[in-house]
Amino acid sequence: MAELHDLTALEQGDAVRRGEVSPAELAGHYLARADRVGAFITRTPELALERARALPSPDDGSPGLGPLFGVPTAIKDLNLTAGVRTTFGSASFADYVPEASDAVTLAIEAAGMVSLGKTSTPEFGSPCYTEPDVAPPAVTPWDTTRMAGGSSGGAGAAVAAGLVPVAHGSDGGGSIRIPASCCGLVGLKPTRGRVSDAPMYGDPVGLSVSGPLARTVRDAAAFLDVLAGRSVGDPSWAPSPTGSFLAACDRDPGRLRVARFITPVIADSPVDPACVQAWDDASRLLESMGHDVEDVPVPLPPEAVPVFEICWAVLTALSAAPPGREGDLRPLTRWLSERGHAVSGPEFGLAIGEMRRLAAGALAALAPYDLVLTPTLAAPPLPVGALRDDNDPAADFEAQKAFTPWTSAWNVTGMPAISLPLHWTDDGLPVGVMLAARPAEEELLLAVSARVEEATPWVHRKPPVW
């Protein structure tokens, strides 16, 4: 008989609505599972059980219970949660407890989902690996000597190890899709403005957006339905979908034009043969499903890289440590912050403007195509510590770029992008493949992804620590 954690998030929600299991029983089941993969910075068992028990019973006639009502989840440690320690992955905020929750946390609570705690993230969500000073490294459950990716590495590790069925992540340069690839999951970066960043609005560039990490496309779509929405005061927002994102998974996407390229965008780096094979296999799969796949040039020019780096450095500098705690920052954060502080206000403004012009050029070049196909990463998950270099932060940063040479392109353009776990190496490591769609076309992206999952299902795959 299947264990509760063998069920998908939607199956668990259905079991709650049928009265076969209570939200408290689900929460208790997951809280009893050990964290062997560095997924959590802070667990909140008492609060989780209290909230689970306080939820209305489905037979109480409570209206509007969604498909994930009563389902456990977890919130990335970059997001404010009232009364719960929120470290932003930094020793400089090791004891910080916010008084208010942000829009993401409130949306999760309003849907009747139960957060079990805060998932691990690197300092201020900057690196593409999750090795913070305030917690053990987040590792992929497929090989616990290897990284879970970042910056939503704790979220990816938690879902892949069966510690929660679905988890919240955020993505400013690949931070949902990178751990999805490393952990064998579905990771969706939504369109810019799809999920509110209220009340912090800490990213004036518009690179980052929250989204789901899940084991299936349908679970990811259902969780996006929970997260999506605008708040009064949002500087930008995506147009409302025609229906639910979950319903989009059942649509026929029709025959599509798919652009593909494999040349790295932000680094002149080699691509592991396993990643090339995954990309080639995905191309053939899409063709076998009736879609037209065409090779295209890289849509962003090399001069986009230094522009992105200016913005990234300034965003890091804005993530300041509390007064007197600057010495607690990691070498990479200090190095990026110094670069950011060296940028003048006019230079930053010009960089944002240039980034928007470059994005417009890429969007125009890709406009004839419904989807864009690339690898997610340039290699399978690397050993813990393979990218981190505290003695040479510049080398650390370059190594990160070489590992993730495609993901940030879609943060620049604001397009939705999804990593799908379509390949495993001979020694059992997951390799993701990435699809991107035009802005605000998550419904199409989910419809295609659901068909891909039907053709090559992966939910039956379980890592050794499952």
Out of 76, 118, 189, 401, the active site residue is: 76
Strand 292-295, strand 209-214: pairing? unpaired
Out of 90, 175, 337, 419, the active site residue is: 175
Answer yes or no: 269 catalytic. no
Answer yes or no: 189 catalytic. no
Answer yes or no: 419 catalytic. no
Out of 90, 92, 120, 151, the active site residue is: 151
Q: Which residues are catalytic?
A: 76, 151, 175
